[in-house]
Amino acid sequence: MSGHQDHVARIQAEWARERPDLDVSPQGVIGRLHRLAAVLTDQLTVVYRRHGLGEGEFDVLAALRRAGEPYERAPGELAQHTMVTTGAITKRIDRLERDGLVARRASTTDGRRRVVALTAAGVRVVDRAFAEHMANERRLLDALDPADARHLERLLAAWLAHFEAPPAG
């Protein structure tokens, strides 16, 4: 490696000088992942905004679209599928409903169940946004060699498995 030090390496060097009694090596991974997550979020939200969506709204539309026809889920299911609280989901649904992208209604399979469903406009918006989102993710990942990207995916999946329960079913 050249003499170039990135932001995280500089922070580590300062801490190593100030607190030589502590092992600052975890910052090498955690600090860079944290910075990378912020960069990626910034790059991804550009696409959502082009479709009039925030990250949260995109997540809700995507969760409904992935459900398959009739593109509906109960609010509690949406909270699980987007990993946010039910309260946060309600705000997102309110905004999407106001924009005509989702509707609250009785389930098509069980009339006693209340669900949130994509409208025809919602399907169009999420399909366009998701296609552009995937192209954007491809562009971002193409900064890595394909073999490195596959290796990184395996490493991240293994690490994440230590913190997340395995998916149900």
DSSP state string for 101-117: SEEEEE-SS-TTSEEEE
Residue 118, in any domain of the structure:
no
Query: Is residue 11 one of the residues assigned to a domain?
Result: yes
Buried b / exposed e across 110-121, counting CB within 10 Å, b at 16+?
eeeeebbbbbee
Please tell me whether residue 25 adopts helix, strand or coil conformation: coil
Contacts of 48 (CB under 8 A, 6+ apart): 54, 55, 57, 58, 129, 133
Domain of residue 17, residue span: 1-50
Closest residue by Cα to residue 100 from 114, 84, 117, 85: 117
Residue 92, classified by CB atoms within 10 Å of its CB into exposed (0-12), middle (13-18) or buried (19+), is buried
Quickly tell me which residue has 């997340």 as its tokens.
Answer: 164
CA 36 to each of CA 8, 40, 41, 140: distance values in angstroms, whole numbers, following the listed order:
11, 6, 8, 11
CB 73 within 8 A of CB 104: no
Write the single-letter amino acid at 22: L
On whether residue 109 sits in a domain, the answer given is no
pLDDT (tens, 9 = 90+) of the chain, 169 residues, equals: 455 789 999 999 999 999 999 999 999 999 999 999 999 999 999 999 999 999 999 999 999 999 999 999 998 899 888 877 888 899 999 999 999 999 999 988 888 889 999 999 999 999 999 999 999 999 999 999 999 999 999 999 999 999 987 766 6
Residue 142 is assigned to a structural domain of this protein: no
Is 12 part of any domain?
Answer: yes
The verdict on residue 26 lying in a domain is yes
pTM of the full structure: 0.86
Domain contains 6: yes
Domains contained in the chain, number: 1
Is residue 74 in some structural domain? no
